Copies of this chain bind each other. A is one copy, B any other.
Amino acid sequence: MNSKKSIAILGSTGSIGTQALEVIATHSEKFEVEVLTAQNNADRLIEQAKKFKPNAVVILNEDHYEKVKAALVPLHIKVFAGENALASVVQMDSIDLVLTALVGFSGLKPTLSAIEAGKNIALANKETLVVAGDLVTARARQKGVNIYPVDSEHSAIFQCIVGEFYNPIEKIILTASGGPFRGMKKNELEKVTKAQALKHPNWTMGAKVTIDSATLMNKGLEVIEAKWLFGLKPEQIEVVVHPQSIIHSLVQFYDGSIKAQLGLPDMRLPIQFAMSYPERLNTDFPRFDFLKYPSFTFEKPDTETFRNLALAFEAMNCGGNAPCVLNAANEVAVTEFLNEKIGFFRMTEIIEQCLAKVKFISQPTLDDYLQTDIETRAKAKELIR
C-alpha cells in the first residue's frame, strides 16, 4: 500500500511549482510526484522530471513535445502535450491532490477537470476563482472536493478557521504589503517603470503577480478569491495595508475574537500546509523573531491612487461575469505593461473601460465565461492599439 500523497503540479517550473518541489523533496516520506506540467520551459521540466520521476509530464506548448519526449520516454515517463492532454492527465486515478500553480485564466479548465474527477485541489491559481468562483465552488461541493488555498493570505485564513468550520465568520481582513509604490501619489507614479514595479519589498514571486502587487490588483483578486473560498458576502471582506507582511491575514468570528496567522514571508509554508493538511510538517525555514520586527503598522489602502483595488471590489459587488472581465482585461494590461507598451495608470484605464464595455451577464455559464474572456481580451488589445 502506498501511504504517500501523490501530487500533480500544474505549472511546476514557475515560482510556486519549484517551491512545491522543494517541499516534496524535503518530505519525500510524505509526498511523491505523480505529474508535472509546464507551459514553455521544457528544459526545466525535463530536469525536474529526471529528479522527481513522475508517472507523466505535460508540456503545454506542443512545439517542445519532441524534445521532452526524447529526454523522458527512455526513463519510462509518459509525455503528453497540449491543453486537452492536461485536462485528462489531471484525472488519472493515481493522483491524490492537484496543485494548480498555472498563471491566469489558463488555470480554469484543468482545475475544473480535476474537480470533475474528484481530486482535492491545492489552489495557487487565484484567477480560477476570480473568473468562475460560483461554478468551481459549486462543482467542488457536489463532488466532495476540498480546495486548499496556497496564497499566503488565504492560507492564513484557512489556518485560522481550522477546527472552527462551524463557527460563523463575521469578517476577514486581508493584509496587503502595499507593494513597492506604497505612499506614492499619482504624479509620482506616472513614470514608474517595469523594473521598479518588479521590485516587491517583501515577497519573491512571478512577474504577473508582482505587477499585480504593485497596482494592488493582486489584493483585489484575492478579495474575490476569498469570497468564494470562504463563502463570504462582499461586505465581510476588508483589506488593511501592513507593510511588514508578517501578519498574513486575519479572521474575526461572530463573538468578536480575531485570529491571525503570522510568519516571515515564505511561500513554502502555505504550499506545504495545503499539501500536508490537516497535519503540519516540521521545517527548517527561518523563524520569525519579534526583536527583529519591533513594530507592526497598519493603514488604510489608498484606493484613490491605486484604483485597481476599488475596481475589484466593484466587480465583486456586480457579480456575474464582471470579475471575469476584470481579470481578462488585467491579464492583457499586465502583459503589455511587462512588454513596456503601456504605462502604470493605463493598466487601470483599460480595465475600467473593459468593465464598462463588455456585455454584463448576471448568471454566466462556463461557455459565457470562456466567451467573456475572449471578448474582453480582444477589447483590451483594441484599446491598447
Contacts and interface: CB of A to CB of B under 8 A. Distances in A.
Nearest to A281: B255
A297 B295 contact: yes
Contacts of A297: 294-296
Interface in A141-192: 159-160, 162-164, 166-168, 173
Contact of A256 (B162, B250, B263): B263
Contact of A283 (B159, B255, B273, B279): B255
B256 A283 contact: yes
A258 B261 contact: yes
A259 B173 contact: no
Copy tally for this chain in the complex stands at 2
A262 B263 contact: no
B162 A288 contact: no
A52 interface: no
Given A162-B163, A163-B162, A290 B256 contact: no
Given A163-B162, A164-B280, A298-B290, A262 B250 contact: yes
Interface in A327-373: none
A203 interface: no
A259 B261 contact: yes
Interface string A260-287: 1111101001001100001111110111
A257 B283 CA distance: 10
B298 A293 contact: yes
B163 A288 contact: no
Of the candidates A252, A280, A281, the one having the most CB atoms from chain B within 10 angstroms of its own CB is A280
A160 B250 CA distance: 12
B159 A162 contact: no
Nearest to A297: B295
Nearest to A240: B290
A254 B282 contact: yes
Contact of A173 (B250, B290, B299, B300): B290
Nearest to A266: B256
Interface of A: 159-160, 162-164, 166-168, 173, 240, 247, 250, 252-264, 266, 269, 272-273, 278-283, 285-288, 290-291, 293-300
Given A247-B260, A256-B283, A295-B295, 10 more contacts: A167-B280, A173-B290, A252-B287, A252-B288, A254-B282, A256-B287, A257-B263, A258-B263, A259-B260, A259-B261
